[in-house]
Structure 1
Amino acid sequence: MKRDFPIIRTTPWSLGLVLLVLLLLVQTSTLPDRLDNWLFDAYLVNHPATPANDVVVVAIDEISLGHLGRWPWPRSIHAQLIDKLQAAGARTIVFDVLFPEPSPQDPILAGAMARHGNVVLPVHLAEPGPRQLLTEQLPAPQLLAQAARLGHAHVELDADGVARGIYLFNGLGDTQWPSLALAARGERPRHPSRDGLAPYTNVREQYRAVPLAGGAGSLPTVSYVQVLNQPPMPEWFQGKTVFVGATAAGFGDVLPTPFSGLRRPMSGVEFHANAYSALSQDRLIRPAPPWAPPLLYAACLAVLSLLLPRIRPSLAFPLCLGVGGLALALYLAALVLFQLWLPVANALLIPLFALPVSSGLRLAQTNRFLNRQLDELARTPQVTLPSPAHRHPWQLLEQIQALVPLTGWLLTDDTGVVSARVLGPADIEGLPLSPGRWLHQDNRSFIRLTRGHKTYTLGLILPDDLSREAIQQYLRRLRLEERQDPSLGSDTRENISARIERLKAATQRMERMQQFIRLSFERMPDGIIVTDELGVIRFANGHIEEWFHEPMPSLTGLPLARLLEGHDPRETPPWHETVSDTLTLHQSRTVDLRIRDKDFLIHFAPFRLPDTEQHGIIANISDISELREQQRQHREAIDFISHDVRSPLVSQLALIEQLKRDPANIEPEQLEQLGRLARRSYHLAEEFVQLARAEQLTETRFYECEFLAIVENARDSVSEQAIEKNIQLKLHGLEDLWLRGNPELLERAVINLLTNAVQYSPEGTTVNIQVYRAGHLACLTVSDEGMGIDPEELPYLFDRYQRQKRSELAGIHGTGLGLSFVKTVTEKHRGEISVTSVPGQGTSFTMKLPVADPMA
């Protein structure tokens, strides 16, 4: 047994030290910078800046090159552009075009610049070559003399090659040129004192990130040739700063930006125009002070190091997520409110590292604890069934015989035959048998078993029918030989997942759990029997002992099929077949059972213990004697009504019709009265039958039906009765309402409502029938103008045999079953029925049923 090595405990110091080392290692890579740039780009792309109102770009585009010829153009053309822009009212003109070499047309361009008076030209810092130092390229002397200001045209590219900002001042030695955007705002060069600084040293100061207004073409842009060829356009240029530069593809400088990368780069003049737009709105973004990022990192590191060792593991992820979210919120607040670019990548990486590091330290401690507890837990009693691998072969044969109807068998050991029928030793000679593996030959199955120092051979002749294959598959699943678990003996102490699984399995095998299961089964209202994989009873609760009158010791170890056959013998299907099918096919069965004049329902459910190959049956036995008695009484009532009442009355009606043909000795009034009584009795029996059908209605007899059509059919059925009393049946409703229900019983229920309305309404009145939808309900309201119902009778209106006293006194006789039928049908359809009545004014019945598709 390996000794437990000391581990690092989860403390603020240990966690903080590990996180600090990881953070320092990450600084050797480009990951933090790339993450910061990605966050900044994501913010710019999703929140582009609003362009200033006083900036316009004049683009040297493909159209201008096509009209004015190849570059470079004569400087007189630029002079014309300046004159046109001056005539249009441009306040400032900024050229992002270099004019380093003198030209014969410089006086023309210089004159135009002088006339305007506010033209800014660029300064270019030439890249150093093999034999050339870094130099400044200024405009030609004549142009330099007339330029209002000079500005450097350099855009800074970050380490990933994307342009995000500029230096406001850049130059060589002690001269620092403002950027073009800053020069357009009136800024002039600075000459700070820099003693000992070489004149060819590039000095850059005040870096600012530029919040772009979008990709290329986002700022107002006019083609160069359009400005030349059209009259002055003050609507475009009056009082504005105009940036002139190249935007044509392959001409001029192109800059990848966060909006486009290299797919659609931005021209330099547009970038400078964006910088001017942000500068004029005071929206340029400054880098955060050098002390701010380390302070943020230290705060995140301190919070996580102090809190993670002290909180529950389930709160570790929310804490890390909260710290990262807080850092991100601080980053966005600095960017949006104060125009500060605060590097936040490291503050996001710290929570990302802290979660697995703290979890790893916790798991190391947990692993050490589990190593000390597993051996003790593994020795606790197991909640398992006795394995067939430990049973004697003759016991296995006996239990298989009780489970499967064998036509023959053979059991031998080293000394000879132990038990045999049909099969003999000659049937097993030469068979390639392996210990613990079944060999199947047609309907014969053989296996070799080892018990102690003896070797046994078991042969079975199975039924030669459709169940044979299922039984053979079932036999293959039986573990009749001990198998060595390859995981036993292997040392997995450092695998925390394996430790947790072993701890879980050992805990489930504790004796306390076994006692709890037994106690739970004892308290269940039904009888419970648990068998093993051979159908042998291993547990039964007190109900089984009481109902079967079998003592508990005799129940344990008894095959379930034999117990059932002894108390309720049957041939079709035999009990052993039901038990066998449950085990072999893994299918549930429900069968009626009768014990000592009591009715039971037994449900066979196969089960398999988790993480094992052991399976068996849980048999649930329910006492349904009272329910069956109620069903018998119900059937007797139906038989009485349908046979003893209904059939004689039909015969009586036939006899009356015969007597009416020969009225010599009988008065017609008597015959009519007898006929009415007979018909009333017949209707009573009919309503009993309909009510019984309604009470037995289940959703298996439901299908989609249209409610309005049902009501129309019911109205037509009652129309003749209404005509006899000169009562109008007015149907209001045009919408098709689809239900899931039994249309026959629904129509009968509506007929009952309409019949009542007609029966209790005076002659010459109206019965209103409304069909409508209210939310997810289909509603029917039947309103009459009859005598109404007394308030004290309303609560009992839907009870059986309930009749109104007022209607009885008025000579209107009913059975008292019609409204009970309506309520039963409505409730079977998961609906509701209600009534409102005002004595002397009328009554309204409202039926509400759920529609088939509530979302339609």
Structure 2
Amino acid sequence: MIRNWLPIKTTPWTLGLPLLIILLLLQATTLPQRLDFWLYDTLITAQPAEISDDVILVAIDEQSMNRLGRWPWPRSTHARLVEKLHQAGAKAIVFDVLFPESSPDDAELATAMDNHGNVILPLHLSPPSRNHLISEQLPVPELADAASALGHAHVELDADGLARGVYLLNGLGDQLWPSLALAASGKALPMTEPGETAPYTNVRQYYRAIPLAGGAGTLPSYSYTEILERPPAPEAFSNKTVFVGATAPGFGDILPTPFSGLHQPMSGVEFHANSYSALVRGELISKVSRVTAVGLAILTIIVLAVALPRMRPASSILLCLACVGALAILHAALLFYGRLWLPVSHAIVMPLLALPVSSALRLAMTNRFLKRQLDELAKGPTMTLQEPSRRHPPQLLSHFQALFQPEGWLLAEDGEVITASGLAQSDIPPLDKPGEWVHIGGQSWISLNRSGHTYKLGLKLSNDLSREATQRYLRRLPLTAINTPAREPRPRENISARIERVRLATERMSQMQKFVRRSFERMPDGIIVTDELGVIRFANGHIEEWFREPMPSLNGLPLARLLEGHDPRETPPWHETVSETLTLAQSRTVDLRIHNKDFLIHFAPFSLPDSDQSGIIANISDISELREQQRQHREAIDFISHDVRSPLVSQLALIEQLKRNQGQVEPEQLDQLGRLARRSYHLAEEFVQLARAEQLTETRFYECEFLAIVENARDSVSEQAAEKGIQLVLQGTEDLWLKGNAELLERAVINLLTNAVQYSPPHSTINIQVFQAGHQACLTVSDEGEGIAPNELPHLFDRYRRQQSSELSGNHGAGLGLSFVNVVVEKHRGEIHVQSRLGEGSAFTLKLPVTHPIRSFY
């Protein structure tokens, strides 16, 4: 038996080593870094940071450029701005405007800065010109002395060109400057111990990612000229940190961010304002070292290498997806709650790559397994039937002759008759479409093309009721030659070719299994297959129907328990029969009775080839009909030995008496002899009619008109009714056509009318109603007799059973009349009902299905 999955019979190193190699190769690519950036950007933009309440922006925008003229503006203008903000109560003023060169108005600006007392100026680290070393671009000394602090305005761009964070400390050599945001906050960070660092070396420390509040224009902003032209506004700037910088298009530095990319970059001053907002709110994000990220990836590899080889493919997929989800959740949790940016791309890539690597290993194992098992599967049994369309016409004719026994036949090849009997070449009709039967009366013809030759085959079928069914069967028979499709090219891949061969072998085995299962289902007997412990493992539909047990409950149920539950017995008990069949390996046959039906169960032990498994095949045959026939046979013998023999014995005794007194023959004796003879005749006639009814099949059915049948039956009993002065009243004028046997139907109606006459008082009325109800032709015979006792109604149609009232009234019979009626109605798939009350009469109603034949009148 082949399992539907194959475990990887390898150690964790088989999966772990390839993943470690892949991890090392990924270090040389930018794929993990780009994935980290994407994850970070997705989370940051999905949940923007909140803006600190004390940060506000004064923008050197396009409107300000238009009103104040070309840049650079006089530093007296900046002094006026500082004075306005000072008057408005600004807590700190942060300029993102470089003042590296002297100006006549420096003293005025320095005075305004001193008056305020908390103005931060920027510095920039860059080479003064090309081919020069990097240097510090500081404000002019006068302004630097007036500033409360200096901060670097440098923003770090990541490898993909987006600005996500800043270094809080940056400088040359041992001189490190805080960022503008850090300088504005007044916080201090510990610097590393100074070392032997060259004074021209760019040193950066404390990189922090900044959770932005949104894209450009998110922060509250005022135009530069709006502040100058209006009175101070304490309600807007009181106790606020004001960032002043350029936002006009084409002026100042612009930074692409995760919110905008290159489509709508953010101004540098707005970026620094976001940095300050995140800093004072404690939301700056620290980046975890690369070593930690690689360690997490190695830990993920270890988990996958240990777990995956022991899991099923579906579980492997779930584990890999769970790892990816857990790493993503860990990344988001650290980012938002721990303020740590953990690069998880290396670790996330590992489960995504582990799945195909694991699948490749499984595929390799499957390939080796297929290689070992393929030959055995290919040698498996097949169950195919030769298609009639591939048989040669002479062979087809031979098979038709054996199957249908036609009265005549003809086979011609290219216009020349090969063999014929009862048909001539002149009988061949036009056959326009090869492969299609043409039926003309009792002749059936077909044209076939085989190997470039044209064959014409004809059959002359017997003129009986089976001819129409045979012609319908011939129409369904596929005899047209089927063009074999071109064989598909063999797959080049080794595994594909083997899988294809396994698929074909599996299809053959599946076809065999389906054939066996369908054969069991279509068998007339019930089949039960048990294992070596007598537990049911298979049962066909007859078992479910006969035992009235649902199929799921049968599977797994001990056979002995099933039999004991439906036919309990003490000698021998069922468990003994089942156990002896298994232990002694001997067949047994036992009678079985289920739900008032008789069965014969045959136990046969079996053992599977090349296996130690064994069990029982139980064949259950329904012998209820056979037992019923045996019972009827016994009843018939009793009937003949008693009912038929009794009047014959009386006749013989009377004849012997007449012989002794030949000269004194009384009329009463002759009448008695006639009555006895008639009674013998009626008994024999009822017996013969019942036998004919029981042998009736639909092959003896034909279209007949029900009202005419009833009229003929009425005429047959009219003389008997007239003797008692009984009036027969027939109601019904509609022609009701049905398919049946008119002779037996008329005899059944005669029996009903005869009974009604016998049990009706003289000078009464018998009503006969013929009508249609839905798709049924109905007949109701009502009399005014004494009626039928309620305890006799359930047994009214039993054969050889006489009513007690009939015997008391002197109406002697064999008890076959109503039984004959019931059999005839059942053979016509109809129904019979009785309504009767003592002292009021009885009403018998027949219901037979009608047909609607198409009739044409010319």
TM-score category by the smaller chain? 0.5 to 0.7
Whole-angstrom distance in 2 between the partners of 1:47 and 1:489: 52
Whole-angstrom distance in 1 between the partners of 2:49 and 2:329: 20
Say whether the 8 Å CA contact 2:448–2:456 is kept in structure 1: yes
Which structure 2 residues correspond to residues 280-295 of structure 1 after superposition, within 5 A?
280-295=280-295
Whole-angstrom distance in 2 between the partners of 1:346 and 1:74: 53
Shift of 1:134: 1.2
Alignment counterpart, residue 507 of structure 1, candidates 506, 509, 514: 509
Say whether the 8 Å CA contact 1:178–1:187 is kept in structure 2: no
Whole-angstrom distance in 2 between the partners of 1:70 and 1:89: 29
Shift of 1:290: 4.1
Whole-angstrom distance in 1 between the partners of 2:324 and 2:115: 58
Match of 1:822 in 2: none
Which structure 2 residues correspond to residues 240-639 of structure 1 after superposition, within 5 A?
240-388=240-388, 391-397=391-397, 410-412=411-413, 417-418=418-419, 447-449=448-450, 457-459=454-456, 478-479=480-481, 485-486=487-488, 492-495=494-497, 497-498=499-500, 501-510=503-512, 512-522=513-523, 523=526, 524=541, 568=699
What do the CA deviations read for 1:421-441 (whole angstroms, capped 9, x no partner)? 66699999xx9xxxxx96999
Shift of 1:9: 5.2
Shift of 1:331: 1.1
Match of 1:156 in 2: 156
Say whether the 8 Å CA contact 1:377–1:506 is kept in structure 2: no
Whole-angstrom distance in 2 between the partners of 1:225 and 1:135: 34
Shift of 1:509: 3.2
TM-score, L = length of structure 2 = 0.55
Whole-angstrom distance in 2 between the partners of 1:305 and 1:489: 33
Say whether the 8 Å CA contact 1:370–1:499 is kept in structure 2: no
Match of 2:76 in 1: 76
What do the CA deviations read for 1:573-613 (whole angstroms, capped 9, x no partner)? xxxxxxxxxxxxxxxxxxx99899999xxxxxxxxxxxxxx
Residue 101 (str. 1) matches residue 104 (str. 2): no
Secondary structure of the 2:133 match is coil
Which structure 2 residues correspond to residues 194-233 of structure 1 after superposition, within 5 A?
194-233=194-233
Say whether the 8 Å CA contact 1:83–1:112 is kept in structure 2: yes
User: Which stretch shows the higher mean deviation, 471-480 or 212-221?
Assistant: 471-480
Say whether the 8 Å CA contact 1:286–1:340 is kept in structure 2: yes
User: Which stretch shows the higher mean deviation, 104-113 or 186-195?
Assistant: 186-195
Whole-angstrom distance in 1 between the partners of 2:316 and 2:189: 55
Whole-angstrom distance in 2 between the partners of 1:426 and 1:635: 43
Shift of 1:198: 2.5
Say whether the 8 Å CA contact 1:383–1:513 is kept in structure 2: no
Which structure 2 residues correspond to residues 27-38 of structure 1 after superposition, within 5 A?
27-38=27-38
For the structure 1 residues 493 and 71, does the alpha-carbon distance in structure 2 shift closer, same or farther, using more than 3 Å as the test? Answer: closer
Secondary structure of the 1:256 match is strand
Q: Which amino acid aligns with 1:206?
A: Y
Which structure 2 residues correspond to residues 786-801 of structure 1 after superposition, within 5 A?
none
Which structure 2 residues correspond to residues 660-679 of structure 1 after superposition, within 5 A?
none
Q: Which amino acid aligns with 1:186?
A: G
Shift of 1:292: 2.0
Whole-angstrom distance in 2 between the partners of 1:307 and 1:345: 21
What do the CA deviations read for 1:745-766 (whole angstroms, capped 9, x no partner)? xxxxxxxxxxxxxxxxxxxxxx
For the structure 1 residues 472 and 187, does the alpha-carbon distance in structure 2 shift closer, same or farther, using more than 3 Å as the test? Answer: farther
Say whether the 8 Å CA contact 2:91–2:241 is kept in structure 1: yes
Whole-angstrom distance in 2 between the partners of 1:199 and 1:266: 32
For the structure 1 residues 637 and 284, does the alpha-carbon distance in structure 2 shift closer, same or farther, using more than 3 Å as the test? Answer: same
Whole-angstrom distance in 2 between the partners of 1:221 and 1:162: 23
Secondary structure of the 2:306 match is helix
Match of 1:239 in 2: 239
Say whether the 8 Å CA contact 2:213–2:274 is kept in structure 1: yes
Q: Which amino acid aligns with 2:385?
A: L
Whole-angstrom distance in 1 between the partners of 2:209 and 2:365: 48
Whole-angstrom distance in 2 between the partners of 1:150 and 1:40: 31
For the structure 1 residues 80 and 458, does the alpha-carbon distance in structure 2 shift closer, same or farther, using more than 3 Å as the test? Answer: same
Match of 2:58 in 1: 58
Say whether the 8 Å CA contact 2:59–2:247 is kept in structure 1: yes
Match of 1:753 in 2: none
Whole-angstrom distance in 2 between the partners of 1:351 and 1:23: 12
Say whether the 8 Å CA contact 2:9–2:309 is kept in structure 1: no
Shift of 1:492: 5.0
For the structure 1 residues 199 and 504, does the alpha-carbon distance in structure 2 shift closer, same or farther, using more than 3 Å as the test? Answer: same
TM-score, L = length of structure 1 = 0.55
Shift of 1:391: 3.3
Say whether the 8 Å CA contact 1:334–1:340 is kept in structure 2: yes
Whole-angstrom distance in 2 between the partners of 1:344 and 1:68: 50
Shift of 1:478: 4.3
Shift of 1:259: 0.7
For the structure 1 residues 222 and 458, does the alpha-carbon distance in structure 2 shift closer, same or farther, using more than 3 Å as the test? Answer: same
Identify unmatched segments of 5+ residues in structure 1.
1-6, 432-436, 463-469, 527-540, 548-565, 573-591, 600-630, 646-800, 802-856
What do the CA deviations read for 1:86-136 (whole angstroms, capped 9, x no partner)? 011111100000111101111111111111111100001124754222121
Whole-angstrom distance in 1 between the partners of 2:740 and 2:368: 58
For the structure 1 residues 102 and 460, does the alpha-carbon distance in structure 2 shift closer, same or farther, using more than 3 Å as the test? Answer: farther
User: Which stretch shows the higher mean deviation, 91-100 or 12-21?
Assistant: 12-21
Shift of 1:79: 0.5
Secondary structure of the 1:203 match is strand
Whole-angstrom distance in 2 between the partners of 1:542 and 1:391: 38
Q: In terms of Rg, which structure is larger?
A: 2
Say whether the 8 Å CA contact 1:36–1:343 is kept in structure 2: yes
Whole-angstrom distance in 2 between the partners of 1:477 and 1:21: 64
Secondary structure of the 2:175 match is coil
Say whether the 8 Å CA contact 1:175–1:192 is kept in structure 2: no
What do the CA deviations read for 1:50-89 (whole angstroms, capped 9, x no partner)? 1111111111111211222222111111101100110111
Q: Which amino acid aligns with 1:225?
A: T
Shift of 1:341: 0.4
Whole-angstrom distance in 2 between the partners of 1:155 and 1:137: 15
Q: Which amino acid aligns with 2:517?
A: F
Shift of 1:206: 1.0
What do the CA deviations read for 1:5-42 (whole angstroms, capped 9, x no partner)? xx995431111112222222233222111111011001
Identify unmatched segments of 5+ residues in structure 2.
1-6, 440-444, 460-471, 527-540, 544-619, 627-696, 704-737, 746-770, 785-834, 836-858
* RMSD after superposition: 4.9
Q: Which amino acid aligns with 2:503?
A: E
Whole-angstrom distance in 1 between the partners of 2:111 and 2:80: 11
Shift of 1:412: 3.2
Identity value in percent:
46
User: Which stretch shows the higher mean deviation, 120-129 or 203-212?
Assistant: 120-129
Shift of 1:46: 0.8
Shift of 1:169: 0.9
Whole-angstrom distance in 2 between the partners of 1:598 and 1:252: 114
Whole-angstrom distance in 2 between the partners of 1:489 and 1:32: 37
